Amino acid sequence: MNLIFFVSLCTLLWLVPGGTAYAQSLKYDIYIGKRVMGTLDAVCSEKQDKSRQYRLETHIKWPLLHISSLMQATYDAKGMYSASVQQWLNKSLRESSSVAKNSQGYRVEFPMKEEKRSLTGLINYSVSCLYHQEPTRQQSIFSERFGEYCTMKTLGEGRYELTMPDGKKITYTYANGICEQMETKQMGQHVVMKRVSK
């Protein structure tokens, strides 16, 4: 295993406010080969005004390495309102991005790259939603990390394949509308994320 592999893995995985009317918390173990190497906590909370907040927190530990990431997205009745992604290596910030709604659409920023871009239209589904809502009618899904849309392909029997902008493919498996498993490959390694909470 090497540092590049673990950093690449974390880029794929991705606060319950006051007045919460509903909250759903999902927990996953991350397997690399046959070993559990990390965890993912996915929380979706809905307030009484029907706004929703998604929070995905990932931790992968290896001798001398601790890679963590945090993805958050807030939706109102019209679609995504804001989102952010941060990734740390041994507590040092390596990557960050933010999405903010404005009158023209959205402003996407990558502070560590000093890069900014604009996006028109409304975002109604994104990577942060994937764990709580089966993408039954989604042909493209917005990536908070990349700041652009990814292609979603239906494989049948509750299985879907997401192609990221960098070409990596991830397979999601659902039961009763909830993500039960994610599979991908990183630098030749088979990576599986399995739901452990019911």
pLDDT tens-place string over residues 159-196: 999 999 889 999 999 999 999 999 998 767 889 999 99
Residue recorded with tokens 């041994």: 90
- pTM for this entry: 0.85
Q: What does the domain layout of the chain look like in residue ranges?
A: 3-195
**Full DSSP string of 113-148:** GTEEEEEES----BGGGTTTS--TT-SEEEETTTTE
Phi, psi of 91 (to 5 degrees): 70, 5
CA-only gyration radius of the chain, Å: 16
The pLDDT tens digits of the residues spanning 23-55 come to: 899 999 999 888 999 999 999 999 888 899 999
Question: Quick one: average pLDDT of 79-102?
Answer: 95
Average pLDDT of the chain to the nearest whole number: 88
